[in-house]
């Protein structure tokens, strides 16, 4: 996978989330007063960006960090995503989410150089794309009814949540490698991608920016693992679990 392919993946994900976000703002718009709505919102649409850090603790990560000039932090990734939340109770939402996190790191062998005493270089990429549904529980009411026709959002409300679904991942290395059978340096690419199950738990806070707009900060821990493809020999499990810290903007509808 080239830099251009990673960039295209990020741009496609961002465009998709932004298009959904933009299209929904007027879709179910409702007249507002000065800082209040005429009913409690039926849900929200949000997009976020942040940082995702995989645990990178399975044997494949141990191998590449021992062999190449990589570390666990090399797999830290830019994270972008969006979600649609539908209120099913005053303090409970069902949330449908889609995200993308990808990293790209250049490296070289720690203990080998080529015949010209030059470093033997390669690139390692990791992408994760979770598609999930979950429950989000607000620890306090999101707003207060004033009379029969007005609803005023609270300035901030904490929340917790759980969810699960499917995750697509890709782990890839390409560049120059040592063939240990004859110590020759060869150009090659190794790729593994598949779908697997995932689950997560999260906590965060919503901060109201007026009657409709919301600023959200969130921490989420994700559990996932899968099998490596046949390009990689040895232990074939890859741990895709990790923590993400994100912030974003949402709109109530």
The predicted structure's pLDDT at residue 29: 37
Lowest mean pLDDT among 5-9, 35-39, 88-92, 167-171: 5-9
Q: How far apart are CA 53 and CA 240, in angstroms?
A: 10
Residue 80 · residue 13 · CB < 8 Å: yes
Residue with tokens 């390692």: 124
Residue 18 · residue 49 · CB < 8 Å: no
Q: What is the CATH number of the domain that holds 94?
A: 2.40.160.20
**What's the total number of domains in the chain?**
1
pTM metric for this prediction: 0.84
pLDDT for 1 beyond 80: no
**Spatial CA neighbour of 130 closest among 209, 226, 21:** 226
Over pLDDT 70: what percentage of the chain?
85
Q: How far apart are CA 248 and CA 246, in angstroms?
A: 7
Q: How far apart are CA 82 and CA 17, in angstroms?
A: 6
**Spatial CA neighbour of 73 closest among 61, 59, 91, 83:** 61
Greater confidence (25 vs 133) lies with 133
**pLDDT tens per residue, range 90-139:** 899 999 999 999 999 999 999 999 999 999 999 999 999 999 999 999 99
Q: Where are the alpha helices (DSSP H) in 25-144?
A: 59-67
Q: How far apart are CA 9 and CA 146, in angstroms?
A: 46
Residue with tokens 């609803």: 151
pLDDT for 2 beyond 60: no
Task: Provide the domain limits for residue 114.
Answer: 3-252
Q: What does pLDDT average to over the chain?
A: 88
**pLDDT tens per residue, range 188-224:** 999 999 999 999 999 999 999 988 999 999 999 999 9
Residue 214 · residue 206 · CB < 8 Å: yes
Q: How far is CA 186 from the centre of its chain?
A: 34
Q: Which residues contact 163 (CB under 8 A, 6 or more apart)?
A: 95, 97, 132, 133, 134, 135, 199, 200, 202
**Spatial CA neighbour of 102 closest among 122, 75, 123:** 75
């Amino acid at each position: 996978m080239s830099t251009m392919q990673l960039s295209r993946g990020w741009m496609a994900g961002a465009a998709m989330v932004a298009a959904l976000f933009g299209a929904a703002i007027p879709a179910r718009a409702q007249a507002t007063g000065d800082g209040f709505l005429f009913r409690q919102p039926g849900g929200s649409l949000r997009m976020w960006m942040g940082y995702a850090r995989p645990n990178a603790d399975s044997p494949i990560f141990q191998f590449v960090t021992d062999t190449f000039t990589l570390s666990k932090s090399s797999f830290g990734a830019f994270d972008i995503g969006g979600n649609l939340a539908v209120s099913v109770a005053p303090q409970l939402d069902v949330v449908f989410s889609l995200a993308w996190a990808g990293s790209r790191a250049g490296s070289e062998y720690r203990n080998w150089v080529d015949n010209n005493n030059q470093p033997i270089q390669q690139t390692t990429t990791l992408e994760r794309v979770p598609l999930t549904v979950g429950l989000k529980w607000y620890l306090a009411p999101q707003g207060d009814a004033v009379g029969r026709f007005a609803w005023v959002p609270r300035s901030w409300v904490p929340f917790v949540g759980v969810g699960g679904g499917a995750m697509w991942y890709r782990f890839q290395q390409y560049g120059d490698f040592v063939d240990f059978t004859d110590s020759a340096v060869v150009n090659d690419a190794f790729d593994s991608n598949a779908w697997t199950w995932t689950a997560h738990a999260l906590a965060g806070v919503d901060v109201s920016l007026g009657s409709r707009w919301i600023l959200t900060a969130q921490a989420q821990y994700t559990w996932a693992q899968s099998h490596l493809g046949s390009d990689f020999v040895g232990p074939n499990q890859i741990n895709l679990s990790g923590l993400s810290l994100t912030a974003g903007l949402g709109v109530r509808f």
